[in-house]
């Protein structure tokens, strides 16, 4: 897997991703502490609103930014977004009102919504061999999972010596280092975009490609199953660990770590597995596994038999299934788009997949608060099962994911 790091361009881009992710992790911890300073007992409501702002930015801004970015190089766009994110990180410690936090989070996440799809669309142009690209996707998934484990520990170590405001400084340094690494390499030039498209057509190109491509519709539905399971883990782990099982704060981190370890296990296994089977064979069963895991959780909670080992096992299984869907996603998007249409396709994938969380996060939180965690698990299990069945039906078993087919589909989209 590490052989792809022999490419200097990819090595620098991967390092930029890892450093920026670490900075983002520090900002997450610091933002929680800032919210508590500003709102006290209402800190949870502030963070919940900030999360909604984040998802709205991902849903709306990505395609718009991608359409506008055709006028500048990918390198300039990514560097500019890194600088913008660094500026926001430096401004956050000086906020004195909650609304200021919301505005800055909107700017920060809008910059991320422009940066991330552009970054993702660049990697298959750097690593043109499918096997190398698959390894890069697995490395990227590992980076995300390791960040979720490493950043809180790094933040805890730093907070022992400095105030949380300095964590924002670390975040800014991470984004600036990412910008330096991006500018240090020559990126492949993007092919000229199709002429004659209006601004609205450019903005919606990726969405129209998804609507016209069965495998992309299936992929998006599989991501709904991911959103259902992830919402249960992210929102309700603390309730399950502390209220249902009566365990301490440290065990919340252990439970979340089990989910991350499961995802990392999938990322490590997939490059070898995908040499023998196609993506659909892995991803659709993984969606059903997410539904089954949530159903088992519902049954365990209803029967009062959920134990600590059971929760860790379930979270690990959900992590494996989540990683099995998220890791190969880039392969599907790349195979379903031409180099010209790839930025719009990745922007649509980024926006639409994150848009599901606007449904599942409120379900996980509101149902657990108004009813109980068993009800939340049952509803999310139903959502995941519906998504898995729909993905099975939408994604043809005999699927031809070729550049020629992608070009034909894209031409139909442009002509529509």
**pTM, 2 dp:** 0.81
Q: What is the CA radius of gyration of the chain?
A: 21
The C-alpha angle 107, 121, 280, rounded to 5 degrees, equals: 115
| Cα gap 102→376, rounded to integer Å | 28
Residue 409: pLDDT above 60? no
Q: Which residue, among 271, 217, 241, has the nearest Cα to 396 in the 3D structure?
A: 217
Q: Residue 191 domain-assigned?
A: no
Residue 312: pLDDT above 60? yes
Domain identity same for 212 and 175? no
The pLDDT mean for the chain works out to 84
- Tell me if residue 161 falls in helix, strand or coil: coil
Q: What CATH number is associated with residue 172?
A: 1.20.1250.20
Domain identity same for 149 and 276? no
Residue 69: pLDDT above 50? yes
Domain identity same for 169 and 208? no
Percentage of the chain beyond pLDDT 70 is 88
| Cα gap 173→407, rounded to integer Å | 41
Residues 31-45 have a mean pLDDT of 72
Residue that terminates a domain, selected from 119, 151, 182: 182
Q: Residue 189 domain-assigned?
A: no
Q: Residue 321 domain-assigned?
A: yes
Lowest mean pLDDT among 66-75, 206-215, 255-264, 380-389: 66-75
Query: What pLDDT, on a 0 to 100 scale, did the predictor assign at position 403?
Result: 45
Domain identity same for 280 and 414? yes
- Residue 313 domain boundaries: 198-416
Provide the number of structural domains found in the chain. Answer: 2
Domain identity same for 216 and 136? no
Burial of 249 (0-12, 13-18, 19+ CB in 10 A): exposed
Residue 329: pLDDT above 60? yes
pLDDT digits (tens, 9 = 90+) for 115-147: 888 888 888 888 888 888 888 888 888 887 777
- Encoding tokens for residue 35? 């919210």
Q: What is the DSSP string of 35-70?
A: HHHHHGGGHHHHHHHHHHHHHHHHHHHHHHHHHHGG
Domain identity same for 85 and 224? no
pLDDT digits (tens, 9 = 90+) for 155-181: 778 887 888 888 899 899 999 999 999
pLDDT band at 296 (very low <50, low <70, confident <90, very high): very high
Domain identity same for 141 and 204? no
Domain identity same for 177 and 206? no
Lowest mean pLDDT among 152-161, 177-186, 396-405: 396-405
Domain identity same for 160 and 276? no
Domain identity same for 69 and 145? yes
pLDDT band at 193 (very low <50, low <70, confident <90, very high): low
């Amino acid at each position: 897997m590490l052989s792809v790091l022999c490419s200097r361009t990819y090595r620098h881009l991967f390092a930029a991703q890892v450093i920026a992710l670490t900075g983002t992790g520090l900002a997450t911890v610091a933002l929680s502490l800032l919210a508590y300073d500003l709102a006290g007992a209402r800190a949870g409501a502030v963070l919940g609103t900030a999360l909604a702002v984040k998802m709205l930015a991902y849903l709306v801004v990505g395609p718009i930014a991608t359409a506008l970015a055709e006028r500048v190089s990918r390198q300039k766009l990514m560097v500019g977004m890194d600088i913008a994110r660094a500026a926001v990180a430096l401004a956050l410690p000086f906020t004195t009102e909650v609304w200021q936090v919301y505005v800055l989070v909107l700017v920060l996440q809008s910059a991320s919504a422009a940066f991330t799809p552009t970054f993702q669309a660049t990697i298959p142009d750097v690593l043109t061999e499918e096997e190398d690209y698959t390894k890069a996707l697995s490395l990227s998934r590992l980076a995300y999972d390791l960040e979720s484990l490493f950043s809180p520990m790094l933040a805890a170590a730093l907070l022992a010596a400095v105030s949380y405001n300095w964590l924002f400084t670390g975040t800014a340094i991470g984004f600036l280092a990412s910008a330096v690494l991006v500018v240090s390499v020559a990126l492949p030039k993007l092919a000229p975009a199709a002429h004659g498209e209006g601004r609205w057509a450019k903005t919606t190109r990726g969405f129209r490609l998804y609507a016209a491509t069965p495998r992309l519709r299936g992929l998006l539905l599989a991501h709904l199953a991911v959103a259902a399971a992830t919402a249960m883990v992210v929102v309700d782990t603390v309730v399950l660990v502390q209220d249902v099982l009566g365990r301490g704060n440290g065990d919340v981190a252990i439970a979340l770590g089990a989910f991350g370890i499961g995802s990392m296990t999938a990322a490590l296994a997939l490059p070898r597995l995908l040499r023998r089977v196609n993506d659909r064979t892995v991803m659709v069963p993984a969606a059903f596994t997410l539904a089954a895991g949530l159903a088992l959780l519902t049954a365990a909670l209803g029967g009062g038999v959920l134990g600590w080992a059971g929760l860790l096992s379930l979270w690990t299984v959900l992590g494996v299934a989540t990683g099995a869907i998220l890791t190969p996603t880039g392969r599907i998007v790349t195979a379903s788009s031409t180099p010209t249409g790839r930025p719009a396709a990745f922007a649509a994938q980024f926006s639409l997949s994150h848009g599901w969380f606007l449904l599942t996060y409120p379900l996980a939180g509101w149902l657990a608060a108004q009813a109980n965690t068993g009800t939340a698990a049952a509803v999310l299990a139903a959502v995941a099962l519906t998504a898995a069945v729909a993905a099975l039906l939408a994604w043809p078993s005999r699927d031809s994911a070729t550049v020629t087919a992608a070009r034909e589909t894209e031409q139909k989209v442009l002509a529509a």
